[in-house]
């Protein structure tokens, strides 16, 4: 008699594996996971995500993860930092008061800024400072976020930066 073992998958492990394998075969060396890496930000889900990412990291692939809305509660943020600090590069420069959530790196001639879910409105001033302070060190800027930066599904991120949102100081 055969005994079946069921493994409950709570993250999209098979698609993640397929995408990373293709990227590795094509020579991709930097990947930006743009949030919702887990469904409920549980320890089990993080272990599943890391079980795949660690293999590719060992092959030289660098990850620049950004937090999605599934990782944003206080308890989830603790799990995020515990698990993602191993992927966020050591030379990353973190936004004050948002360490491990908003950060930037420069690779070759590209400035890459990672922003946590819905952080563009609060990080806009910091982004301008980063660009000014690093002038001449890059030719390209990539801003990675779980949100669409203009005309976002959940509502006008660009407009909130310019006009503010109700209740903002």
- CATH number of residue 64's parent domain: 3.60.21.10
Query: Does 2 reside within a domain?
Result: no
Cβ–Cβ under 8 Å, residues 138 and 110:
yes
Query: Does 8 reside within a domain?
Result: no
Q: Which strands make up the sheet holding 103-107, listed edge to edge?
A: 93-94, 103-107, 110-115, 140-145
Query: Does 5 reside within a domain?
Result: no
pLDDT of residue 73: 75
In the chain, the number of structural domains is 1
- The one-digit pLDDT tens for each residue of the chain (169 residues) are 555 544 455 788 899 999 999 999 999 999 999 989 888 888 899 999 999 999 999 999 999 999 998 887 777 788 899 999 999 999 999 999 999 999 999 999 999 999 998 888 889 999 999 999 999 999 999 999 987 766 545 555 555 555 555 555 5
Query: Does 138 reside within a domain?
Result: yes
Query: Does 169 reside within a domain?
Result: no
Query: Does 4 reside within a domain?
Result: no
Q: Which of 110, 90, 111 is nearest to 100 (CA)?
A: 90
Query: Does 118 reside within a domain?
Result: yes
Task: State which residues form the domain around 102.
Answer: 13-163
pLDDT of residue 75: 74
Q: Which residues contact 21 (CB under 8 A, 6 or more apart)?
A: none
């Amino acid at each position: 008699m055969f005994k079946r073992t069921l493994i409950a998958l709570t993250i999209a492990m098979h698609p993640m594996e397929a995408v990373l394998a293709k990227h590795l075969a094509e020579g991709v060396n930097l990947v930006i996971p743009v949030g919702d890496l887990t469904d409920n930000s549980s320890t089990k889900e993080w272990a599943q995500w890391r079980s795949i990412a660690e293999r590719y990291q060992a092959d030289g692939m660098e990850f620049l993860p950004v937090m999605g809305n599934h990782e944003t509660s206080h308890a989830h943020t603790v799990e995020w930092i515990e698990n993602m600090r191993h992927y966020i590069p050591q030379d990353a420069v973190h936004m004050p008061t948002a360490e491990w959530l908003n950060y930037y790196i420069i690779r070759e001639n590209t400035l890459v800024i990672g922003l946590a879910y819905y952080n563009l409105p609060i990080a806009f001033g910091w982004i301008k400072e980063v660009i000014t302070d690093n002038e001449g060190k890059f030719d390209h800027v990539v801003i990675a976020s779980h949100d669409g930066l203009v005309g976002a599904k959940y509502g006008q991120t660009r407009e909130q930066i310019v006009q503010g949102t109700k209740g903002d100081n």
